[in-house]
A and B are shown apart, each in its own frame.
Chain A
Amino acid sequence: MSASAVFILDVKGKPLISRNYKGDVAMSKIEHFMPLLVQREEEGALAPLLSHGEVHFLWIKHSNLYLVATTSKNANASLVYSFLYKTIEVFCEYFKELEEESIRDNFVIVYELLDELMDFGFPQTTDSKILQEYITQQSNKLETGKSRVPPTVTNAVSWRSEGIKYKKNEVFIDVIESVNLLGLAAGEGAGCLLTTPHIHPQVNANGSVLLSEIVGTIKLKVFLSGMPELRLGLNDRVLFELTGRGKNKSVELEDVKFHQCVRLSRFDNDRTISFIPPDGDFELMSYRLSTQVKPLIWIESVIEKFSHSRVEIMVKAKGQFKKQSVANSVEIAVPVPSDADSPRFKTSVGSAKYVPERNVVIWSIKSFPGGKEYLMRAHFGLPSVEKEEVEGRPPIGVKFEIPYFTVSGIQVRYMKIIEKSGYQALPWVRYITQSGDYQLRTS
């Protein structure tokens, strides 16, 4: 059903550590993995699933390591990949960074964890907070203190231990919305942009949004004693309709995903988000909206390439959000040909920097108020001998953060916290909107 064995390989494909869970695939088969990967890569047919005879390799890459699961059965592939990612998450929480060195430095713990994470190919306990209660870095702790299984492991509430105590009971709620955008930057009518400092608004008639979506996440930092019952109230349109509140100021969530602590059937029934939270940081939920919103930062660009001599780049960025809001740490990455040289920049605000290893100019603007428009011009020289390989046309990428604001208009209406000891707890809410995968193709 799942993995027969799991390997962690170094960048050359040499096993650093492995665990044979089922014994139905010879461990030596892993030797075929790297040659196969190289071969497929050369063929341009690399995929996350490789096969050699009857053995299938499901692999992911993390920094300089490969995590590979082998199987010869019709395994549940999504489970295996999901498990491999979870394994990385657990290792990262144990060792901060997962890399060749941290595996070597902690091989005893890695073995212990591999033993606890999966049994006979079935993933078991993968919650690192709970694992840390009985698999600890310091072995001497084991001998003296808890060498017992925390009951949490097998409880229905397998993510929170009993007996947690805080002096001050608080919950911090972060509502983070990422805007993914695939657009076509305006660019035609190029000539006038280059010659006149004034930019005509009609120029962007050629730009368009191909796809935009908002992916929101609600993250919690929980400092609560005991076994608290939480209920989160959002201005969810479906809920408002159910309760007859009408559509005012509500948000239609297209798809919602919850942390395993949330009672899914309850949500399915009456849209109540109720849960006993894990302790500390976790992501409570994520949601997706594909409602078309005006792109928060709109880009017009003209990239004119004069072969054998130069490239002229001119980019205009426009903040299309409320005047009261400010976008921070704005970074606009504009692609340039890989053989460009001698950069020259001029910006109306912020600073521009050529990053040759990424073949981009990065235009950074610390603070970008809504409604403003800024301009950047760049000039590059091109060698007189044109190089042979064809280059792709990477899109312009934009990064930004707008605090105290959500594009979707989602709001936390309440967070009810009930614990049998009856303490008062305070919820704190922060909102932020940021760029997700925000790219504009240039024509």
Chain B
Amino acid sequence: MTDSKYFTTTKKGEIFELKAELNSDKKEKKKEAVKKVIASMTVGKDVSALFPDVVNCMQTDNLELKKLVYLYLMNYAKSQPDMAIMAVNTFVKDCEDPNPLIRALAVRTMGCIRVDKITEYLCEPLRKCLKDEDPYVRKTAAVCVAKLHDINAQLVEDQGFLDTLKDLISDSNPMVVANAVAALSEIAESHPSSNLLDLNPQSINKLLTALNECTEWGQIFILDCLANYTPKDDREAQSICERVTPRLSHANSAVVLSAVKVLMKFMEMLSKDLDYYGTLLKKLAPPLVTLLSAEPELQYVALRNINLIVQKRPEILKHEMKVFFVKYNDPIYVKLEKLDIMIRLASQANIAQVLAELKEYATEVDVDFVRKAVRAIGRCAIKVEQSAERCVSTLLDLIQTKVNYVVQEAIVVIKDIFRKYPNKYESVIATLCENLDSLDEPEARAAMIWIVGEYAERIDNADELLESFLEGFHDESTQVQLQLLTGIVKLFLKKPTETQELVQQVLSLATQDSDNPDLRDRGYIYWRLLSTDPVAAKEVVLAEKPLISEETDLIEPTLLDELICYIGTLASVYHKPPMSGPPLTTSSVQMGAVDLLGGGLDSLVCHGCPLDDIGGTNFVAPPTAAVPASLGAPIGSGLSDLFDLTSGVGTLSGSYVAPKAVWLPAMKAKGLEISGTFTRQVGSISMDLQLTNKALQVMTDFAIQFNRNSFGLAPAAPLQVHAPLSPNQTVEISLPLSTVGSVMKMEPLNNLQVAVKNNIDVFYFSTLYPLHILFVEDGKMDRQMFLATWKDIPNENEAQFQIRDCPLNAEAVSSKLQSSNIFTVAKRNVEGQDMLYQSLKLTNGIWVLAELRIQPGNPSCTLSLKCRAPEVSQHVYQAYETILKN
């Protein structure tokens, strides 16, 4: 007889009937009734009305029945908090049951009932269970501390459970140790600065010992915890690595990846000259390769991580190219990742094999995969110079297949090859021109136009070709329009006599008939350049282009280092750091975000972005045609420099510094007067103080201390007043500050309480610091991320402010803000108003996104801020005010 029979009763009056059965005297009937209730609950029916009757069944010696009632409680206690209290007595009793299975069950379930009233009663039983003689109960209780902390952190601290939990790290039973580590890590995650885990060589040693004895999952908890530790020197790093490497032989892929994380992180500390460093490198390759035999989902995680690892330490897998060859039956997500890694590993030594494979892939049927394979050939050409010729001929072969999307991809990458190797492969232009008519994707059309414009002098009918595009000018995408404009201007500069009419035509199309501001702007600039100073126009438009880099989508090194510390986690799969506090920004929002802002933002002039944006690795961009194409950079001309918002602006002069204000008047501090201000320069924050002795006696023995504050500001060095301060003497001191101190939310948020001591007394004062000292230098979000994040933050977090009396124009605003680390991510013009999209990041990793609307001629501008921690918005607005008005 199976349980499915319990699902079958669906008649009316069921609840009533169940009620009667639950209250039956017969044990069997009771149990059957509870099962029916649970079955109803499972299929989503609301059986909360039976709460008291089910709870009545709780006192039973039948373990199965008890478990079912507990399960019911977990589900419904929250909706019936008052009645849940009825269950408390039984829980408390069960926590003292002679059977450890029941004790553990009770403490485990109680922790899952997230009702405040219950938690109060949980403390005593939990305390006992944490010291239970049975390890099964202790390991369950350890996890329960984390549960309780999640419901009521204060209670856990007050009850001293954290200390008990720390003691469990030294428990004799490995499973208890592992769960204690897991619970502490979980708690520490919500208190990053609390130093809960208190890792030191002794505790690390205990963990490493437990590592050998606990279950596979326990090993993962311990390894993940070890990864947070920073060894004091290379010797300690090496000795930990030596004890972690055996884990690479574990059958569980997750254990292997967590071990890889620890090793990759600690390797940083080892000198490359060390023999051991080489040994370790060699040991890492085989387990990474073996991960590719795991289940496809685990393979996917492994491949995303290997992608990071080959960027960080290419030497590990440089000989393993072949294992990344794509198999016919690999899932598409595995294929795409393998392809990406193949390109990263491509070198002169293996390029022949790689090319042969890529060519094979380019004839497959999966469109996304084929496209990526074609692009990959282009990337090989750019990366391995010796192979360029072979790559070009492979691409030409592919163009001959006439498969539409293959041809288009090929043309896009050939454009990049031309840029990388000027004056080498232009002979193929004729072949490319033959395919002009089949191009229907904007990116390919734009690439082709770029080629024609760039090599106009070598293409006899360049004018005809470009003219043919002009007919449907208004139906083209912005990308193509911009390129066509630039292309024809190039053509005109090269062959002025025959193309005067053409250039007139395009300029007028762009400036008069288009309502796209970017296109109009570019058109006007060309027009003015051409009409005022043709020589200058030539210098600008036909300027030598900067070289394109070999690898276009490398992860920026600091981000890479950060991601290495997250090996195995979601962050490593997304290739995005987790946001501190609020969760990760995710990829799925991308599409929506584009809808929201896409119309304007994507058409913005690029910020010096590489012209050969081959794309693909970015997890965020779904490999559909629309998004990458529209977010891709317009294909450049020398003119793109003119639009580059970042160059010439970012003179790193440091943030705005307010004049010193009196913080502590002399009369309140027995003659010591303190005034000061905060500065931020090249990444370091300091408190600039001026101490004046207005007393009659000499002052000595100065010291300073901060109270805990919202952003963990703390003196990074002692207060150094070198000589005694004589009466009427003033001394200026710059006190460096760090942001790694203890954190406590203050009211207002930017309140800082300071204690200063001297030989006379201790004085207290508080001051408000301007938030912009916390704006970090790497606060520039990339555009895609910006779009995604803006969409992702709920609208209720948006705050709007007016900045009055700010007569600056957009350029000036942007440059002024940038010197205080508020970065303009994108800019556009909507109906005569300048919209600046800006990002900034606080020292604790909180991102703030801003939209600043500036109306020429109107001295006030509108600032909209979006942030996951909306409480900072007010202060960010004040920072804007301060920076802009000074």
- Among the listed B298, B366, B566, B588, which residue makes an inter-chain contact with A74, where contact means beta carbons less than 8 Å apart? B566
> Chain A 23-49 against B: per-residue CB contact (8 Å), 1 yes, 0 no?
110000000000010001001111111
Q: Does B878 contact A (CB under 8 A)?
A: no
Interface residues of A in 41-92 (CB under 8 A from B): 43-54, 56, 58-60, 71-79, 81-83, 85
Q: Is B323's CB under 8 angstroms from A78's CB?
A: no
Q: Note all chain B residues with C-beta closer than 8 A to A154.
A: 135-136, 139, 173-176
- Provide the bound-state CA to CA distance between A24 and B329, in Å: 37
- Are the CB atoms of A45 and B217 closer together than 8 Å? no
**Chain A at the B interface: SS class:** mixed
Question: By the criterion CB–CB under 8 Å, are A49 and B249 in contact?
Answer: no
Give the residues in chain A near B140, CB-CB below 8 Å: 119
B136, A149: Cβ atoms under 8 Å?
yes
Do A75 and B287 form a contact, CB below 8 Å, given A1-B189, A120-B111, A148-B99?
no
A22 touches B150 (CB 8 A): yes
**CB-based contact B327/A265 at 8 Å:** no
B588 close to A48 (CB less than 8 A): no
Set of chain B residues within 8 Å of A296, measured between Cβ atoms? none
Q: Are B624 and A45 in contact (CB under 8 A)?
A: yes
Question: Given the complex of chains A and B, what is the CA–CA distance between A213 and B183 in angstroms?
Answer: 41
A52 CA to B583 CA, complexed, in Å = 12
Do the beta carbons of A56 and B104 come within 8 Å of each other?
A: no
CB of B738 to closest CB in A, whole Å: 25
By CB atoms of chain B within 10 A, which of A17, A48, A79, A395 has the most?
A79
Using known A-B contacts A47-B300, A143-B61, determine if residue A148 contacts B367 with beta carbons closer than 8 Å: no
Contact A51/B624 with A77-B569, A215-B293 known, Cβ cut-off 8 Å: no
Q: How far apart are A291's CB and chain B's nearest CB, in angstroms? A: 13
Tell me, rounded to whole Å, the shortest Cβ–Cβ distance linking A182 to chain B.
6
| Residue interface bits B134-163, CB-to-A below 8 A is 1, else 0 | 111001100100110010000000000000
Q: Which residues of the other chain, B, contact A15 by a CB distance below 8 angstroms?
A: 44
Determine if B490 is an interface residue (Cβ-Cβ < 8 Å).
no
A268 to B587, CA, bound (A): 41
Given the known inter-chain contacts A76-B569, A390-B365, please indicate yes or no for A23 contacting B114, CB distance below 8 A: yes
Within the complex, what minimum Cβ distance (angstroms) separates B129 from chain A? 13
Q: Using known A-B contacts A45-B624, A82-B298, A255-B287, determine if residue A264 contacts B2 with beta carbons closer than 8 Å.
A: no
Stretch at the interface among B35-43, B424-432, B498-506, B840-848: B35-43
Contact between B333 and A148 (Cβ–Cβ < 8 Å)? no
Closest to B213 in A: A156
A134 at the interface (CB under 8 A from B): yes
Q: Complex: how many Å from CA A69 to CA B327? A: 28
Chain B CB within 8 A of A123 CB: yes
Q: Using CB atoms, name the residue of chain B closest to A85.
A: B295
Which residues of the partner chain A approach B143 to less than 8 Å between Cβ atoms? 119-120, 122
Complex formed: what's the CA distance from A120 to B143 in Å?
Answer: 7
* Minimal Cβ-Cβ distance residue in B for A51: B586
A78 touches B254 (CB 8 A): yes
A48 in contact with B243 (CB, 8 Å) = no
Interface residue? A283 (CB, 8 A): yes
CB distance from B288 to the nearest CB of A (A): 9
* Interchain CB contact under 8 A, B247 and A105: no
Give how many A residues have a beta carbon under 8 Å from the other chain's beta carbons. Answer: 102
Taking a contact as CB atoms under 8 Å apart, the answer to whether A441 and B290 are in contact is no
- Please determine whether A104 and B4 come into contact, CB atoms closer than 8 angstroms: yes
Stretch at the interface among B63-71, B391-399, B686-694, B849-857: B63-71
Across the interface, do B568 and A44 meet the contact criterion of CB distance under 8 Å?
Answer: no
Of all chain A residues, which has the CB nearest B182? Answer: A122
Partner-binding segment picked from B79-87, B570-578, B677-685, B800-808: B570-578
* Contact flags B237-267 to A (C-beta < 8 A → 1, else 0): 0000001011101111110111000000000
B134 touches A149 (CB 8 A): yes
The residue that A147 contacts in the complex, of B101, B217, B293, with Cβ under 8 A, is B101
| Shortest CB distance B259–A (Å) | 10
Q: Is A309 an interface residue (CB 8 A)?
A: no
Q: How far is the CA of A394 from the CA of B364 in the complex (A)?
A: 9
Find chain A residues with CB under 8 A from B587 CB: 51
B252 touches A125 (CB 8 A): no
In the assembled complex, which residues on chain A have CB atoms less than 8 Å from the CB atom of B101?
134, 147-149
Q: Which residue of B lies closest to A16 (CB)?
A: B42
B583 touches A54 (CB 8 A): yes
From A106-114, A298-306, A416-424, the one touching the partner chain is A106-114
Check if B216 sits within 8 Å of A263, measured CB to CB. no
Are B570 and A264 neighbours in the complex by a CB distance under 8 Å?
Answer: no
Residues B251 and A286 in contact, CB atoms below 8 Å apart:
yes
CA distance A111 to B212 in the complex (A): 31
Decide yes or no whether B792 CB sits under 8 A from chain A: yes
Number of interface residues of B (CB under 8 A): 116
Given contacts A74-B569, A149-B104, contact A264 B250 (CB under 8 A): yes
Asked if B818 is at the interface of the complex by the 8 Å CB criterion, the answer is no
Q: Which of A124, A153, A257 contacts B217 (CB 8 A)?
A: A124
B749: CB under 8 A from chain A?
Answer: no
Distance between B392 CB and nearest chain A CB, rounded to angstroms: 23
A267: contacting residue among B6, B220, B249, B363, CB under 8 A: B249
A40 to chain B, nearest CB (A): 8
Q: Pick the contact of A122 from B112, B221, B287, B582 — CB < 8 Å?
A: B221
Asked whether any CB of chain A lies closer than 8 Å to the CB of B332, the reply is yes
Q: Is the CB of B249 within 8 A of A268?
A: yes
Chain A nearest CB, measured from B406 CB (Å): 11
How far is A121 from B146 in the complex, measured between Cα atoms in Å?
11
- Given contacts A76-B224, A288-B293, whether A24 and B258 have CB atoms under 8 Å apart is no
Cβ-defined contact, A1 with B251, below 8 A: no
Within the assembled complex, what's the spacing in Å between the Cα atoms of A258 and B246?
Answer: 10
In whole angstroms, what is the CA distance A76 to B573 when docked?
10
B202 located at the interface, meaning its Cβ lies under 8 Å from any Cβ of chain A in the complex: no
Chain A neighbourhood of B175, CB < 8 A = 153-154, 158
Q: Which residue of B lies closest to A101 (CB)?
A: B4
Among B35, B150, B333, contact of A24 (Cβ-Cβ < 8 Å): B150
CA distance A264 to B251 in the complex (A): 11
Nearest CB in chain B: distance from A152 CB, A: 10
Tell me if B300 and A48 are in contact (CB < 8 A): yes
Contact call B325/A182, Cβ cutoff below 8 A: yes
Which among A1, A73, A122 has the highest number of chain B CB atoms within 10 Å? Answer: A122
Q: Is A437's beta carbon under 8 Å from chain B?
A: yes
Is A347 an interface residue, CB under 8 A from the partner? Answer: no
Q: A45-B623, A259-B251 are in contact. Are A392 and B286 (CB under 8 A)?
A: no
Q: Cβ of A169 < 8 Å from any Cβ of B? A: no
**Which residue from chain B places its CB closest to the CB of A443 in the assembled complex?**
B360
Establish whether residues A393 and B186, one from each chain, have CB atoms under 8 Å apart when the complex forms. no
Query: Is A406 interfacial (CB 8 A cutoff)?
Result: no
Residues in B neighbouring A286, C-beta threshold 8 A: 251
B100: interface (CB < 8 Å): yes
- Tell whether A107 pairs with B296 under 8 Å between CB atoms, given A51-B587, A119-B143: no
- Are A46 and B332 in contact, with the CB atoms below 8 A? yes
- A111 to B, closest residue via Cβ: B71
Known: A1-B224, A22-B150, A255-B287. A437 touches B251 (CB 8 A): no
Any B CB within 8 A of the CB of A260? yes
Chain A: minimal CB distance from B96 (Å): 16
- Any A CB within 8 A of the CB of B215: yes
Query: Which of B213, B327, B588 contacts A437, CB < 8 Å?
Result: B327
Distance to closest chain A CB from B219 (angstroms): 8
Closest 8 CB pairs of A and B: A255-B286, A51-B586, A105-B2, A264-B246, A74-B578, A48-B297, A268-B246, A154-B135
Query: What are 25 sample pairs from A and B whose C-beta atoms fall under 8 A apart?
Result: A1-B186, A20-B74, A43-B624, A45-B624, A51-B587, A71-B570, A74-B583, A75-B569, A76-B254, A77-B568, A78-B568, A79-B217, A85-B298, A107-B39, A108-B38, A122-B179, A124-B179, A127-B215, A139-B63, A143-B62, A210-B353, A211-B323, A264-B249, A290-B289, A392-B366
